[in-house]
Amino acid sequence: MLTITLKPGKEKSLLRRHPWVFPTAIERVDGKRDELNKPGATAVVKAADGRFLARAAFSPASQIRARVWTFDENEPVDHGMIKRRVQKALAYRQAVVRDSDAIRLIFGEADGFPGLVVDWYGGPSGQLVCQFQSAGVEAWKQPIVQALIAATGCPNVYERSDAAVREREGLPQVTGVLAGAEPGDETLVTENGVRYAINVKTGHKTGFYVDQRDNRKLVMDHAAGRDVLNCFCYTGGFSLAALKGGAAHVTSVDSAGEALALAQRNQALNDFAPERAEWWDDDVFKLLRHLRDEGRTYDMIILDPPKFAASPQQVERAARAYKDINLIGLQLLRENGLLFTYSCSGAISADLFQKIIAGAASDAKVDARILKRLSAGADHPMCTNFPEGEYLKGLMLMR
C-alpha cells in the first residue's frame, strides 16, 4: 500500500477532518512503482512524525492529490465499507425525502464517497445514474455499482461521467450502461404531484436538477394567482411547479431549444392548459432588458442560471453577471412581488451572493426584503468539515 507522508505542520487540516490533501502538503509518496502511477490506489496518509492520519485515494494527476476515505485507522477500504456506506446513505434518504421518486442517493464526501454523485429516478423499477468524478471512486466502480443494485433493488445503472472534472483527475469522460437496460429517451419521475419526463443520457447533470426539489415546492406554495417569469427554465422544473401551484400564467425562457421542447412535453404530461404557459427560446440577458424597456412587470420571477464561476478566477466576472440579471429582475418585479434567485457556483459563497443581491437592489433603487435563505434539499447534506460541498445557495425576496 502507498504511504503519503506530509510536511511538518501540514497535518492540521486532516486533524480537523478536512478530506482533501494537496501536493504542497506532501513531503513524499512511498510505494511500488505501479501503485505510484495508479489513479485511485489506496494510500495511508501520515504526519511528518509518523502518526496515522487517514486512508485516502491517491490521484497522481490531480491538484487534489489524495481524497480521504476514512480517518479511522481500524476501518479498511474494502467491499464491506462500500456496502455499509451505500446502505447508510439509502436509509437516510428514505427518512428525509417525501413526495418524490427523484432522489440524490449519494452526495460525494457527505456520504463517504469522495467525488461520487448518484441520483435515483423512479424507484426500484427505474434508473440509477452515476457520476464518478474522482480517481478513487473510479477504482471502486464495480463494487459501488453492485452495492447500489443490492441496496435499492434497481437493476438499471447508467454512467454520466462526462464532466470536465474527470480530465483534471487524469480520467477520460465516459457515458454508458453499467448494469441493466439501456435507458430510453424519457424517464418519468414524480415530485410533489408534478410529473417530469427527463433524459438521463443527454440532460444536464444526471438529467434533472434534483437539488431544487424543496425550492420548487416553495415556488408552488406561493404561485397561486401570480403572473410568473422563469428565466433559465431548462425543462420547466420551476415553471411546472408554479402551474401546479395555481399560477395565472407562466412565461419561461431558455436558449436551449431541445430543453424547451421537453418542457412543453412536461406541460402536456400534467394536463396544464396550453394558454397558461409560454415558452420562449431567447437569451435571458438580452430579453430582461427588452422586457424592462417595454415596461413589463411580474408577480413572481425565478432566476436560476447555470454556473457562472467554475473556479475562483472567474468570481469577479460571475459577480457582475449575477448582479446584472438580479438588478433588472428586481426592476421587473411588482410591489409585493417575489424573487427567487440562485447561484450554483461553488466559488460564490452565500455571503458574497447576498452582497451581490444587495448591490443589485441598491442600484435598482428598490427595497428588497429577504424572506428566506435557500439551499439544496436534505438529500444533499453538507459536512461541517467540508464547506466546499455547499454549492447551491439562493434567496427568496419580496419587493
CA atoms within 13 A on the CB side of 378: 10
Give one word for 56, left, alpha or beta, with left for phi > 0 and alpha for psi -120 to 50. Answer: beta
CB atoms within 10 A of CB 152: 21
Could you tell me which of 54, 163, 185, 83 has the C-alpha nearest to residue 117? Answer: 163
Among the listed residues 130, 231, 344, 383, the single catalytic one is 344
154 belongs to the catalytic site: no
Q: Please give the C-alpha separations between residue 320 and each of 20, 246, 356, in angstroms, as whole numbers.
A: 30, 34, 8
The three-class DSSP label of residue 111 is helix
* Cα R_g (the chain), whole angstroms: 23
The DSSP element (H or E) to which 41 belongs, if any, is strand 41-46
Give one word for 232, left, alpha or beta, with left for phi > 0 and alpha for psi -120 to 50. Answer: left
- CB 340, CB 302: distance < 8 Å: yes
Q: Please give the C-alpha separations between residue 81 and each of 30, 193, 272, 332, in angstroms, as whole numbers.
A: 25, 36, 47, 52
The beta-carbon contacts of 71-80 under 8 Å, at least 24 apart in sequence, are 71/14, 71/17, 77/42, 79/143, 79/147
Cell numbers of 154, please? Answer: 434497481
Indicate the DSSP class of residue 76. -
Point out the residues that are catalytic.
Answer: 344
